[in-house]
Amino acid sequence: MKYEEIIKELKSGVYKPVYFLQGDEGYFLDKISDFIAENVLEASERDFNQTILYGKDVSIQDIISAAKRYPMMSQYQVVIVKEAQHLSRTIDQLEAYVTNPLASTILVFNYKYKTIDKRKKIGKLLAKNTVFYTAEKIKDYKLADWIVGFCKSQGLQIKPKASHLMGEYLGNDLSKIANTIEKLKVILEGETVIDEDVIQKNVGISKDFNMFELSNALAEKNVYKSNFIVNHFAQNPKNYPFPATLGTLV
């Protein structure tokens, strides 16, 4: 399933017994896990019916034991396993449970930065019997479009050049980008348009923009990024005491 489809189902109150969320883009995995944690149960039900576990601290058998409990005065219980990638060596012990999960339990695995081999038995079972989602990193050339889309979801409009600039500043860390846009929404105080001036004034230069990054940009013939870094150096000579000829590199 796609991320949007999973969220749509959850918003409609359609819940499945097991969610296996894996892949390199932790932002999407966390968004799904957090939505389940914050919306499936009422606040008054969570003390007895919501359990957060961490893969580095528990075993698969601990998780299964928790999943097999019945909810108390609630239709569901929720068990969320964060950092589930630490269980990669024993994940095949889930085979029996995912084949016959408890319908009143919503079990969520947040399996970051790794993926299950779908050729193996456990991979086939997870793909068949769970909401099986793989989050891939957003490609650099798609990042600006993602920023535009996220801004739209927040009721904001971002200028094309500003979206590219934000991507250059922050890289493809979607969590950082989303947090930044949410902060900008507060700073704008009712204004809805984000342009280059807003980005330059409020976002700040990334610490990743250094001589190493400049060398990479020059090697890639990325004129926009090269000029941006050089201009930043020129405007901050105390922080970047490089030769005066630096400005002639591009």
Statement: residue 8 has pLDDT above 70? yes
What domain count does the chain have? 2
The residue segments making up the domain with residue 240 are 140-248
Mark whether 9 and 91 lie in a shared domain.
yes
Mean pLDDT of 63-77: 97
Are 109 and 156 members of one domain?
no
pLDDT classification of 211: cutoffs 50, 70, 90:
low
Does residue 246 have a pLDDT over 60?
A: no
Mean pLDDT in residue range 237-244: 53
**What sign does the CA torsion over 108, 114, 115, 120 have?**
negative
| Domain end position, chosen among 108, 135, 162 | 135
- pTM comes to 0.78
What are the tens digits of pLDDT across the range 95-109? 999 999 999 999 999
Q: Are 229 and 129 contained in the same domain? A: no
Cα gap 141→192, rounded to integer Å: 25
- Identity of the residue numbered 210: N
Residue 248's pLDDT band (boundaries 50, 70, 90)? Answer: very low
Mean pLDDT of 11-39: 97
Query: What number of helices (H) and strands (E) belong to the chain?
Result: 12, 7
